[in-house]
Structure 1
Amino acid sequence: MSYDDVEIEDMEWSDELQAFTYPCPCGDLFQITKEDLRAGEEIARCPSCSLYITVIYNAEDFSFDDHKNNMPPPQKPITVA
């Protein structure tokens, strides 16, 4: 059983950790990466203790992120005379 259910909007993004974080009662931070979320993972773990939380998020918000970054820019229409 998880320690708590936490909305992704209540978590903070850490550039240093490259993960969403949330305060753990032990003083460390629960962590989950964007890659974890894209893979359908919903458990954020604390690296210092055995607690974990369930992250509530919309999987579609993360599944298209890769596609946006890897798609070439749209082509401009070519006018044919």
Structure 2
Amino acid sequence: MSETETIYDQIEIEDFTFDPDTQLFTYPCPCGDRFQISIYDLQDGENIAVCPSCSLMCEIIFDEIDLQEYLDQIS
């Protein structure tokens, strides 16, 4: 991520919606679309969700242990 890109907000993982079928976390973006990030990106240490329709990004606040309950929903 370059220094010119800005984070729209910091959002707790509990505020995201998790879909076990797509394995994506989503959260409403002000543009009307949704920020999204996969559970595997989070496992790899990524914590920035991106809106596919605009340039906004949000930082996800979570601990590694938080992911286990979502991983349990997949398997």
Coarse TM-score class (shorter-chain normalised): 0.7 to 0.9
1:27 alignment counterpart:
32
Alpha-carbon separation, structure 2, partners of 1:17 and 1:27: 20
SS, match of residue 49 in structure 2: strand
Q: Which has the larger radius of gyration?
A: 1
Residue 15 of structure 1 and its aligned partner are, at CA, apart by 4.1
TM-score normalised by structure 1 residue count: 0.71
Residue 16 of structure 1 and its aligned partner are, at CA, apart by 5.2
Greater RCO structure (CA 8 Å; 6+ sep): 2
Alpha-carbon separation, structure 1, partners of 2:30 and 2:21: 21
Equivalent residue for 2:49, pick from 44, 53, 59 = 44
Say whether 1:55 aligns with 2:71.
no
- What percent identity do the matched residue pairs reach? 51
Residue 18 of structure 1 and its aligned partner are, at CA, apart by 2.3
Matches within 5 A, 1:61-72: 61-62=66-67, 65=71
Unaligned runs of 5+ in 2: 1-5
TM-score normalised by structure 2 residue count: 0.76
SS, match of residue 7 in structure 2: coil
Deviations 1:4-60 (A, max 9, x none): 000000010124542000000010000011100100000000000000000000023
Unaligned runs of 5+ in 1: 70-81
RMSD of Structure 2 on Structure 1 (CA): 2.0
How many residue pairs get aligned? The number is: 66
Moved over 6 A (4+): none
Question: Whose strand proportion is higher, 1 or 2?
Answer: 2
